[in-house]
Amino acid sequence: MMERRNWIAGRLVDGVRLEANRNPARPSEVIGHYAWASVAQAEEALGAARAALPGWAASNPQTRSDVLRRVGDELNARAEELGALLTREEGKTLREGIGEVRRSAQIFHYAAGEPLRQGGEALPGLRDGTTAMVSREPVGVVVLITPWNFPMAVPAWKTAYALAFGNTVVLKPSEVTPACAWELADILHRAGLPVGAFNLVVGDGRTLGPALVDGADAVSFTGSPGVGRAILERSVARMTRVQLELGGKNPLVVHDDADLELAVDIALQGAFHSTGQRCTATSRIIVDRRVHDAFVERLVTRMAALHVGDPMDAATDMGPVVSEAQLAKDLHCIADARGEGAELAFGGGRMDGDGYFLEPTLFVGTDNAMRINRDEVFGPVACVIPADGLDHAIAIANDSDHALSSGIVTRGLASAETFRRRSRAGLVMVNAPTAGIDYHVPFGGRGPSGYGGREQGSAAVEFFTEGKTAYINHGIAG
> Does the protein bind ligand NAD through residue 382 (CB under 6 A)?
no
**Of positions 445, 448, 452, 457, contacts ligand NAD by CB under 6 A:** 445
Contact string 159-178 vs ligand NAD (x = CB under 6 A): -------------xxxx---
| x/- track of binding to ligand NAD for residues 337-376 (CB under 6 A) | ---------------------------------------x
Q: How many angstroms separate the CA atoms of 6 and 131, rounded?
A: 48
Q: What share of the chain is helix, strand, coil (3-state, %, to 5)?
A: 40, 25, 35
Q: How far apart are CA 244 and CA 225, in angstroms?
A: 9
Task: For the CB of residue 376, give the shortest distance to ligand NAD in the complex, in Å.
Answer: 6
Helix (H) or strand (E) holding 425: none
Q: Toward ligand NAD, which CB reaches closer, 56 or 439?
A: 439
Site for ligand NAD, residues 255 to 294, rule: CB under 6 A: 279
Distance CA 355, CA 419 (A): 40
Single residue of 145, 162, 197, 252 touching ligand NAD by CB under 6 A: 145
Between the alpha carbon of residue 373 and those of residues 85, 184, 336, 361, 430, the distances in Å are 34, 36, 11, 14, 22
CB distance 31 to 89 below 8 Å: yes
E strands of 3-114, at which residues? 3-4, 6-8, 11-13, 17-23, 26-36
Site for ligand NAD contains 79 (CB under 6 A): no
Among candidate residues 129, 195, 202, the one with its CA nearest the CA of residue 168: 195
Q: How far apart are CA 285 and CA 363, in angstroms?
A: 10
The reply to whether 49 sits near ligand NAD by the rule CB under 6 A is no
CA distances from 239 to 142, 234, 235, 242, 356 (A): 14, 9, 6, 9, 42
What is the C-alpha to C-alpha distance for residues 387 and 394, in angstroms, rounded to an integer? 9
- CB nearer to ligand NAD: give 208 or 254: 208
Using CB under 6 A as the criterion, what x/- string covers residues 105-144 for binding ligand NAD?
A: ----------------------------------------
Active-site residue numbers?
Answer: 245, 279
Taking CB under 6 A as the binding criterion, the range among 77-85, 155-163, 216-224, 410-418 that sits at the site for ligand NAD is 216-224
Comparison of 230 and 430: residue with beta carbon closer to ligand NAD: 230
What is the separation of C-alpha 269 from the centre of its chain, rounded to a whole number of angstroms? 17
245 binding ligand NAD? (CB under 6 A): yes
With contacts defined by CB under 6 A, name the span among 66-74, 159-167, 192-200, 222-230 that binds ligand NAD. 222-230
Q: Which residues bind ligand NAD (CB under 6 A)?
A: 145-150, 172-175, 205-206, 209, 222-224, 227, 230-231, 245-248, 279, 376, 378, 404, 445
